[in-house]
Protein backbone atom coordinates (compact mmCIF):
# COMPACT_ATOMS: atom_id res chain seq x y z
CA UNK A 1 0.00 0.00 0.00
CA UNK A 2 1.48 3.25 -1.03
CA UNK A 3 0.74 6.51 0.69
CA UNK A 4 0.31 4.93 4.10
CA UNK A 5 3.03 7.05 5.61
CA UNK A 6 1.24 10.24 4.69
CA UNK A 7 -1.81 9.90 6.88
CA UNK A 8 -3.67 13.10 7.56
CA UNK A 9 -4.15 13.97 11.20
CA UNK A 10 -7.24 12.16 12.45
CA UNK A 11 -7.90 14.74 15.18
CA UNK A 12 -7.22 18.44 15.33
CA UNK A 13 -4.08 19.91 16.84
CA UNK A 14 -6.23 22.15 19.06
CA UNK A 15 -8.13 19.14 20.43
CA UNK A 16 -4.89 17.37 21.31
CA UNK A 17 -3.42 20.51 22.88
CA UNK A 18 -6.56 20.89 25.01
CA UNK A 19 -6.25 17.27 26.16
CA UNK A 20 -2.57 17.86 26.99
CA UNK A 21 -3.39 21.21 28.65
CA UNK A 22 -0.81 22.94 26.45
CA UNK A 23 -1.66 26.58 25.81
CA UNK A 24 1.45 27.85 24.02
CA UNK A 25 2.51 27.34 20.41
CA UNK A 26 6.06 26.35 21.38
CA UNK A 27 5.39 22.62 21.00
CA UNK A 28 2.96 22.78 18.05
CA UNK A 29 5.39 21.22 15.56
CA UNK A 30 6.29 18.44 18.00
CA UNK A 31 2.64 17.71 18.81
CA UNK A 32 1.68 17.77 15.11
CA UNK A 33 4.42 15.22 14.38
CA UNK A 34 3.25 13.02 17.26
CA UNK A 35 -0.29 13.32 15.93
CA UNK A 36 0.79 12.06 12.50
CA UNK A 37 2.72 9.23 14.14
CA UNK A 38 -0.25 8.24 16.31
CA UNK A 39 -2.57 8.29 13.28
CA UNK A 40 -0.15 6.05 11.33
CA UNK A 41 0.09 3.65 14.27
CA UNK A 42 -3.71 3.58 14.51
CA UNK A 43 -3.94 2.69 10.82
CA UNK A 44 -1.34 -0.05 11.21
CA UNK A 45 -3.11 -1.50 14.26
CA UNK A 46 -6.62 -1.36 12.81
CA UNK A 47 -5.65 -2.26 9.24
CA UNK A 48 -7.84 0.59 8.02
CA UNK A 49 -7.22 4.05 6.62
CA UNK A 50 -8.50 6.55 9.19
CA UNK A 51 -9.32 9.60 7.06
CA UNK A 52 -10.33 9.45 3.43
CA UNK A 53 -7.26 9.91 1.27
CA UNK A 54 -5.87 8.73 -2.04
CA UNK A 55 -3.60 5.69 -2.07
CA UNK A 56 -1.85 3.99 -4.98
CA UNK A 57 -1.49 0.28 -5.54
CA UNK A 58 -0.23 -1.90 -8.34
CA UNK A 59 -2.09 -4.99 -9.50
CA UNK A 60 -1.41 -7.49 -12.28
CA UNK A 61 -3.33 -6.87 -15.50
CA UNK A 62 -4.36 -10.51 -15.78
CA UNK A 63 -8.16 -10.30 -15.76
CA UNK A 64 -8.36 -11.79 -12.24
CA UNK A 65 -9.84 -10.15 -9.16
CA UNK A 66 -7.30 -8.63 -6.75
CA UNK A 67 -8.00 -7.23 -3.29
CA UNK A 68 -6.93 -3.64 -2.63
CA UNK A 69 -4.91 -3.31 0.57
CA UNK A 70 -6.20 0.16 1.51
CA UNK A 71 -9.53 -0.29 3.23
CA UNK A 72 -12.31 0.68 3.45
CA UNK A 73 -12.27 1.55 -0.24
CA UNK A 74 -14.53 4.38 -1.36
CA UNK A 75 -13.87 4.71 -5.09
CA UNK A 76 -11.42 4.30 -7.95
CA UNK A 77 -9.82 7.62 -8.92
CA UNK A 78 -7.50 6.82 -11.85
CA UNK A 79 -5.55 4.02 -13.45
CA UNK A 80 -2.31 3.78 -15.41
CA UNK A 81 -1.32 0.85 -17.62
CA UNK A 82 2.30 -0.34 -17.36
CA UNK A 83 3.90 -2.49 -20.06
CA UNK A 84 6.90 -4.84 -19.78
CA UNK A 85 9.33 -2.00 -20.53
CA UNK A 86 7.83 0.11 -17.75
CA UNK A 87 6.11 2.56 -20.10
CA UNK A 88 3.02 4.08 -18.55
CA UNK A 89 -0.14 5.08 -20.39
CA UNK A 90 -3.51 6.21 -19.06
CA UNK A 91 -5.84 3.27 -18.49
CA UNK A 92 -9.41 3.79 -19.69
CA UNK A 93 -11.84 3.41 -16.79
CA UNK A 94 -13.94 0.91 -18.79
CA UNK A 95 -10.94 -1.48 -18.67
CA UNK A 96 -11.08 -1.60 -14.86
CA UNK A 97 -13.83 -3.34 -12.92
CA UNK A 98 -14.25 -2.53 -9.23
CA UNK A 99 -16.35 -4.02 -6.47
CA UNK A 100 -16.60 -3.09 -2.83
CA UNK A 101 -17.72 -5.94 -0.59
CA UNK A 102 -19.78 -5.74 2.60
CA UNK A 103 -16.61 -5.28 4.70
CA UNK A 104 -15.45 -2.30 2.65
CA UNK A 105 -12.70 -4.26 0.92
CA UNK A 106 -12.11 -3.12 -2.62
CA UNK A 107 -11.62 -5.62 -5.40
CA UNK A 108 -10.33 -4.72 -8.86
CA UNK A 109 -9.95 -6.56 -12.13
CA UNK A 110 -7.93 -5.06 -14.97
CA UNK A 111 -8.70 -6.33 -18.44
CA UNK A 112 -5.76 -8.26 -19.89
CA UNK A 113 -4.01 -6.80 -22.90
CA UNK A 114 -1.11 -8.04 -25.03
CA UNK A 115 1.02 -5.03 -23.99
CA UNK A 116 -0.22 -4.45 -20.45
CA UNK A 117 1.60 -6.25 -17.61
CA UNK A 118 0.23 -4.41 -14.59
CA UNK A 119 -1.73 -1.36 -13.59
CA UNK A 120 -1.12 1.34 -11.04
CA UNK A 121 -4.41 2.41 -9.54
CA UNK A 122 -5.19 5.42 -7.43
CA UNK A 123 -8.09 4.78 -5.09
CA UNK A 124 -9.76 6.68 -2.29
CA UNK A 125 -10.09 4.85 1.02
CA UNK A 126 -10.91 5.81 4.58
CA UNK A 127 -13.20 5.31 7.57
CA UNK A 128 -14.33 8.94 7.60
CA UNK A 129 -14.24 12.08 5.48
CA UNK A 130 -12.87 14.20 8.32
CA UNK A 131 -11.87 13.88 11.95
CA UNK A 132 -15.35 14.80 13.23
CA UNK A 133 -16.79 11.76 11.44
CA UNK A 134 -14.29 9.26 12.87
CA UNK A 135 -15.66 6.83 15.44
CA UNK A 136 -15.10 8.35 18.88
CA UNK A 137 -13.13 5.35 20.16
CA UNK A 138 -10.65 5.67 17.28
CA UNK A 139 -10.24 9.41 17.91
CA UNK A 140 -9.81 8.95 21.66
CA UNK A 141 -7.18 6.25 21.10
CA UNK A 142 -5.20 8.58 18.86
CA UNK A 143 -5.43 11.43 21.37
CA UNK A 144 -4.34 9.18 24.23
CA UNK A 145 -1.42 7.83 22.19
CA UNK A 146 -0.27 11.39 21.40
CA UNK A 147 -0.49 12.21 25.11
CA UNK A 148 1.59 9.14 25.97
CA UNK A 149 4.21 9.92 23.33
CA UNK A 150 4.36 13.56 24.43
CA UNK A 151 4.71 12.73 28.12
CA UNK A 152 7.35 10.03 27.58
CA UNK A 153 9.37 11.54 24.72
CA UNK A 154 12.58 11.73 26.74
CA UNK A 155 11.86 9.10 29.39
CA UNK A 156 13.89 5.95 29.72
CA UNK A 157 11.21 4.57 32.05
CA UNK A 158 8.58 4.28 29.29
CA UNK A 159 6.82 0.91 29.55
CA UNK A 160 4.90 1.45 26.32
CA UNK A 161 1.48 2.87 25.53
CA UNK A 162 -1.41 2.24 27.92
CA UNK A 163 -3.50 -0.87 27.21
CA UNK A 164 -6.57 1.37 26.98
CA UNK A 165 -5.43 2.53 23.54
CA UNK A 166 -5.51 -0.99 22.12
CA UNK A 167 -8.84 -1.57 23.86
CA UNK A 168 -10.30 1.50 22.16
CA UNK A 169 -9.03 0.43 18.72
CA UNK A 170 -9.61 -3.34 18.97
CA UNK A 171 -13.27 -3.26 17.78
CA UNK A 172 -12.09 -1.53 14.61
CA UNK A 173 -9.21 -3.93 13.95
CA UNK A 174 -9.24 -5.76 10.65
CA UNK A 175 -6.83 -8.62 10.27
CA UNK A 176 -6.18 -10.59 7.12
CA UNK A 177 -4.98 -14.14 7.07
CA UNK A 178 -3.02 -15.24 4.03
What angle is formed at CA 172 by the lines to CA 41 and CA 134, rounded to 5 degrees?
80
What's the CATH class of domain 4-49+128-172? mainly alpha
Which pLDDT does position 100 carry in this prediction?
Answer: 96
Which pLDDT does position 114 carry in this prediction?
Answer: 85
| Residue from 27, 51, 23 nearest 38 by CA | 51
In the chain, where the domains are located: 4-49+128-172, 54-125
Which pLDDT does position 176 carry in this prediction?
Answer: 72
Which pLDDT does position 14 carry in this prediction?
Answer: 87
Which pLDDT does position 4 carry in this prediction?
Answer: 45
- DSSP-derived secondary structure letter, 24: S
Which pLDDT does position 155 carry in this prediction?
Answer: 75
Which pLDDT does position 9 carry in this prediction?
Answer: 61
CA distances from 103 to 67, 72, 94, 137, 172 (A): 12, 7, 24, 19, 12
Which pLDDT does position 98 carry in this prediction?
Answer: 96
Which pLDDT does position 8 carry in this prediction?
Answer: 55
Q: Low-confidence residues of the chain, pLDDT below 50?
A: 1-6
Amino acid sequence: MSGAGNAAAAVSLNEVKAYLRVETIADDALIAGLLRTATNLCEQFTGQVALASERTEQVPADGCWHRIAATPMKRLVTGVSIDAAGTETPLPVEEIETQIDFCGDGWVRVAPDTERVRARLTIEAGLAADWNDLPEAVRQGIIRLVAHLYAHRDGADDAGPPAAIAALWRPWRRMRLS
